[in-house]
A and B are shown apart, each in its own frame.
Chain A
Amino acid sequence: DAKTTQPPSMDCAEGRAANLPCNHSTISGNEYVYWYRQIHSQGPQYIIHGLKNNETNEMASLIITEDRKSSTLILPHATLRDTAVYYCIVRVSERSRGRRALTFGSGTRLQVQP
C-alpha cells in the first residue's frame, strides 16, 4: 500500500473550516484514500473514503487532486469535539485484491481552539 505523509499537528478555530492535507505521491490506480480519526482513548472512527472523485458526507468532504497524489480532508465547521488525531490511509479495494489491513501512520493531531 502507498505511503502517506501528513503534518504532525494543526490548530483550527472553533467554527472555522479545518483543512487537513495528505500526500500520497506513490498511490496506485486501484488504491483508495481513507480517512479515520481517533479521539483520545477511543477506537478510530471512519470518516470518509474516495478513489478519484471528491466525496462528501455528513461528517466531512474529501478533495482528491486530479493526479491523485494528494488529498485534503475538510471539516466545514470544526467544533471542540473534532479535536483528535486524523489518519490518512491509502489501500487497495477489497474487491480488486483481497483484504488488506489498514496501515496507520502517525496522523495529524488537530487541536480545535475555542
Chain B
Amino acid sequence: KAGVTQTPRYLIKTRGQQVTLSCSPISGHRSVSWYQQTPGQGLQFLFEYFSETQRNKGNFPGRFSGRQFSNSRSEMNVSTLELGDSALYLCASSFSVRDTEAFFGQGTRLTVV
C-alpha cells in the first residue's frame, strides 16, 4: 500500500507570493490533516478535512486555507507569503471511522526568501 504522498518535496518562494501544496492520502483514507513544523513552534495543527469538509481548524491566519477533493486528495494554500511561513508542512491521513493512528507524509519544505 502506498503511503501518504506530498508534492513538491522542496519549494522556494518569494515574500508576497502564494503557494499551493498537495497531499495524496493512503488509498481508502478519507481524513487529511495538515501541520506546520518550525524550529521555534514545533508541530502545529493547521486544519483537517473529511469528506471534502473542513472539520477542524487550528490557530492560523486566514492566509492559510485548504480544500479536499472527492478522491480525498487535499491541497493547502498560503497566500501573501511571509518569511515566517518558512517551515516543513506535513500532511497526515487516517481512516477516520475508528480509533486509529495517523500516517504522515514526508512533508514539503517551504523556504520563503
CB distance from B61 to the nearest CB of A (A): 17
**Docked complex Cα distance between A102 and B107 (Å):** 16
Given A34-B101, A94-B99, A104 contacting B43 (CB threshold 8 A): yes
**Docked complex Cα distance between A70 and B96 (Å):** 27
B-contact bits for A67-85, CB 8 A (1 contact / 0 none) = 0000000000000000000
List of A residues within 8 angstroms of B100 by Cβ: 94
Closest Cβ neighbor of B109 among chain A residues: A41
Chain B, interface SS category: strand
CB distance from B22 to the nearest CB of A (A): 15
Does A101 contact B104, Cβ atoms closer than 8 Å? Answer: no
Residue count of chain B within 8 Å CB distance of chain A: 27
Q: Which of A41, A42, A98, A103 contacts B45 (CB 8 A)?
A: A103
**Docked complex Cα distance between A23 and B88 (Å):** 28
Does B102 contact A46, Cβ atoms closer than 8 Å? Answer: yes
Does A44 contact B96, Cβ atoms closer than 8 Å? Answer: no
Chain A, interface SS category: loop
Q: Which of A44, A95, A100, A103 contacts B90 (CB 8 A)?
A: A44
CB distance from B17 to the nearest CB of A (A): 24
CB distance from A59 to the nearest CB of B (A): 11
Does B106 contact A93, Cβ atoms closer than 8 Å? Answer: no
Report if B21 contacts A (CB, 8 A): no
Does A99 contact B31, Cβ atoms closer than 8 Å? Answer: yes
List of B residues within 8 angstroms of A87 by Cβ: 43
Does A43 contact B58, Cβ atoms closer than 8 Å? Answer: no
The 4 A-B pairs with the shortest beta carbon distances in the complex, nearest first, are A43-B104, A46-B101, A101-B45, A104-B43
